[in-house]
Amino acid sequence: MAASRSEWKHEIWNPVTGCSPVSEGCEHCYARGIALRLKAMGVEKYRQGFEVAVHENALEKPIHWRKPRLVFMTSMGDLFHPIVPDDFIQRVFDVMRRCDRHVFQLLTKRPERMAELSGRIPWPVNVWAGTTVENRKVYHRLESLRCVDALVRFISFEPLLSDVSDVDLSGIHWAAVGGESGPDARLMRIEWVRTLRDRCITEGIAFYFKQWGGAHHSSGGRTLDGRIWDEMPEPSAQLQFNCFTHIDESISST
């Protein structure tokens, strides 16, 4: 039976924590700072700080969530980091497949490995595949993303660091856009956001605007041209989910 909109809860699941820089979007990584603070506080899960680590004791956490959740994956790391063993990724996918009452949003800056493994791991219909595109230098990630046999493929344009008006959105179902936050936040121009929004409207792609960030004349917030943009992709008829119009504020680049 389809879950009503009010029944859905939002969760973050981190069976993997830690990462290493791969592109300009990593320069002011929020997760690194959080991990180092948690390490200083003596939190066991972050005893290695932001070094890549897998967490066996977190692996089956979604199994115990009885009501449907919209789950953002590895907000504190990257499941497809080269250090993460293939067999551990397989086990993560086994859990997601078993928990088909939930929807998992799987975001990576390493879609090449995601695509390679998707040829060997059956892709569950309840797992969305996404990659981060912060500027034109990483457009190649989209070629890999389009090779993933996911029901929903999405792009996180966060932090958006340049004009990406010529990005190829074919095969994409959802675009989430946001500026960088923090004291050293880099500029995101309003025309960059408007262009993406207008492209999404024209091409029938759901558009979600997360935040302006810390380097914009609007001084933060998430209103664009007088309204909040919380669009979500139409879910699969197979899953019998209602169309979501809200997503947790925790959605951000890995």
pLDDT in tens, 121-169: 999 999 999 999 999 999 999 999 999 999 999 999 999 999 999 999 9
User: Is the predicted pLDDT of residue 249 greater than 60, yes or no?
Assistant: no
Q: Are strands 9-13 and 127-132 parallel, antiparallel or unpaired?
A: unpaired
- Reported as a pLDDT band with limits 50, 70 and 90, residue 183 is confident
Nearest Cα neighbor of 81 from 137, 24, 15 is 15
Alpha helix stretches (DSSP H) within 106-234: 111-118, 140-145, 190-203
Which helix (DSSP H) or strand (DSSP E) does residue 91 occupy? helix 86-98
| pLDDT value at residue 213 | 87
| pLDDT value at residue 246 | 31
| pLDDT value at residue 214 | 77
In 59-216 the beta strands, taken as DSSP E runs, fall at 69-73, 103-108, 127-132, 153-157, 174-178, 206-211
DSSP, collapsed to helix, strand or coil, labels residue 63 as helix
| pLDDT value at residue 60 | 95
Query: In this structure, is the dihedral angle defined by the CA atoms of residues 56, 57, 63 and 69, taken in order, positive or negative?
Result: negative
pLDDT, mean over the chain: 88
| pLDDT value at residue 216 | 54
Task: For 203-233, give one letter per residue: b (16+ CB within 10 A) or e.
Answer: eebbbbbbbbbbbbeeeeebebeeeebebbb
Nearest Cα neighbor of 130 from 103, 108, 161, 160 is 108
| Two tokens, residue 131 | 């990659």
Q: What are phi and psi of 85, to 5 degrees?
A: -65, 145
More confident residue, 183 or 219: 183
* 142 to 101, 111, 114, 156: CA distances (angstroms): 28, 8, 12, 11
Q: What is the mean pLDDT of residues 83-93?
A: 98
Q: What is the mean pLDDT of residues 88-104?
A: 97
| Two tokens, residue 75 | 């907000």
User: Is the predicted pLDDT of residue 217 greater than 80, yes or no?
Assistant: no
Cβ-contact 125, 102 below 8 angstroms? no
| pLDDT value at residue 215 | 57
Delineate the domains of the chain, giving CATH numbers in brackets. Answer: 5-228 (3.80.30)
* 116 to 59, 85, 104, 112, 120: CA distances (angstroms): 22, 14, 19, 6, 7
Q: What is the mean pLDDT of residues 71-84?
A: 97
176 strand-pairing partners: 156, 208
Query: How many residues can be counted in the chain?
Result: 254
Which helix (DSSP H) or strand (DSSP E) does residue 40 occupy? helix 30-40
More confident residue, 164 or 181: 164
Nearest Cα neighbor of 63 from 111, 86, 97 is 97
